């Protein structure tokens, strides 16, 4: 679909959804973002847009010589990874409970962490240099080094997940969603707090939109910590993917894996758009440059998409990061029961208890409608349907 144009305060807002379908609080946030004096061209709003802290989830913001940490989100580098295997549906056992248990045994979920560090040279070649960079992070997280090491290769909770999926050709995929874990959250919270104290942010319509400005020590400190946390998130997904693939190798000795796909959807990138060098924040959005592969997940009972970007300049070469919530977690818990969850995840080997009712498919937007709204942003490469879903 063509983007809908809404007039903003400093720049306009281009929306890949109908404005009347966006909740009132999220629309107010978008107006607040559009008032930022550093904003370039317009704000790009993805079809899965919904209310978030400071900035809406599903917003792409290009700023000139500035960056807002709340427009990145508190889970810096959160994103997706997926790999297609040589297995087909017929290779899988009739019951998948055992496979799910073996996967859960190697990837801690929720607040869990590894008893011994899980990362190896098979996952990345720069571990020494990567962990030495920890010493230069803000002193506020210096005591967290051991925790950060033991959380490397862990899933977390909330909307993070680990899945075994089938595509329409019945090929087996592994897919997961996670970010920079506790250390990324602490870094984000620290820098959001610092930004709120800076004098140039005093007149902003929302204190949570506070920015750092180029050429300042605060900006330099944030970008250093931010890029490290984005690397942490990428490595975290790589470690988990390898752990799960090792489970599959033990189960199916002749299995082969294609090149993995990986993408952030809460991050900052230095890019050029409309002839200007800008800092782009994608909060709940993936990069969708022409020919680039990406992953757009649905909910735990509906399925997901592998996509190829079309490089649409009006979206700052971006696309949605998923289906997006249509109701808050609290409302979902009040609306649905564990029985509803079991019905909506029929055929999926997963938790079906009250502890994950807030992740029920009914709490999310229709992923197919979201995809239809961004047909000018990405083309579909594969549609996946989960048969195993692990949540914290």
Active site residues: 321
SS3 per residue for the chain: CCCEEECCCCCEEEECCCHHHCCHHHHHHHHHHHCCCCECCEEEEEEEEECCCCCCEEEEEEECCEECHHHCCCCCCCEEEEEEEEEEHHHCCCCCHHHHHHHHHHCCCCCCCCCCCCCCCCCCCCHHHHHHHHCCCCHHHHHHHHHHHHHCCCCCCCCCEEEEEEECCCEEEEEEEECCHHHHHHHHHHHHHHHHCCHHHCCCCCHHHCCEECCCHHHHHHHHHHHHHHHHHHHHHHHHHHHHHHHHHHHCCCCCECCCEEEECEEEEEEEECCEEEEEEEECEEECCCCCEEEEECCCCCCEEEEEECCCHHHCCEEECCCCECCCHHHHHHHCCHHHHHHHCCCCEECCCHHHHHHCHHHECCHHHHHHCCCCCEEEEEEEEEEEEEEC
């Amino acid at each position: 679909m063509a983007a809908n144009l809404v007039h903003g305060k400093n720049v306009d807002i281009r929306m890949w959804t109908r404005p009347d379908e966006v909740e009132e609080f999220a629309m107010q946030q978008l107006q607040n973002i559009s008032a930022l004096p550093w904003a370039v061209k317009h704000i790009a709003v993805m079809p899965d847009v919904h209310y978030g802290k400071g900035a809406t989830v599903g917003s792409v913001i290009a700023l000139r010589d500035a960056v807002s940490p709340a427009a990145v989100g508190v889970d810096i580098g959160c994103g997706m990874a997926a790999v297609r295997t040589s297995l087909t549906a017929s290779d899988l056992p009739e019951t998948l409970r055992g496979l799910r248990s073996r996967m859960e045994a190697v990837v801690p979920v929720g607040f869990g962490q590894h008893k011994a560090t899980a990362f190896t040279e098979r996952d990345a070649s720069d571990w020494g240099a990567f962990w030495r960079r920890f010493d230069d992070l803000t002193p506020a997280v210096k005591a967290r080094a051991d925790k950060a090491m033991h959380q490397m290769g862990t899933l977390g909770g909330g909307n993070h997940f680990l899945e075994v999926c089938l595509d329409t050709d019945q090929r087996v995929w592994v897919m997961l969603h996670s970010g920079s874990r506790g250390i990324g959250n602490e870094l984000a919270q620290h820098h959001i707090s610092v930004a709120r104290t800076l004098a140039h942010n005093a007149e902003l319509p929302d204190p949570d939109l506070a920015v750092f400005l180029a050429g300042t020590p605060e900006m330099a400190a944030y970008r250093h910590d931010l890029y490290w946390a984005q690397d942490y998130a990428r490595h975290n997904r790589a470690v988990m993917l390898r752990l799960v693939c090792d489970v599959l190798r033990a189960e199916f000795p002749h299995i082969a894996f294609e090149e993995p796909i990986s993408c952030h959807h809460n991050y900052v990138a230095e890019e050029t758009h409309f002839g200007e060098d800008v800092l782009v924040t994608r909060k709940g959005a993936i990069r969708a440059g022409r020919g680039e592969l990406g992953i757009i997940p649905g909910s735990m009972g509906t399925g997901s998409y592998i996509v190829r970007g079309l490089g649409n300049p009006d979206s700052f070469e971006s696309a949605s990061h998923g289906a997006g919530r249509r109701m808050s977690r609290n409302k979902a818990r009040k609306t649905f029961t564990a029985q509803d969850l079991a019905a909506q995840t029929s055929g999926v080997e997963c938790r079906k208890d009250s502890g994950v009712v807030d992740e029920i498919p009914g709490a999310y937007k229709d992923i197919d409608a979201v995809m239809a709204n961004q047909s000018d942003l990405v083309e579909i490469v594969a549609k996946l349907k989960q048969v195993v879903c692990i949540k914290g």
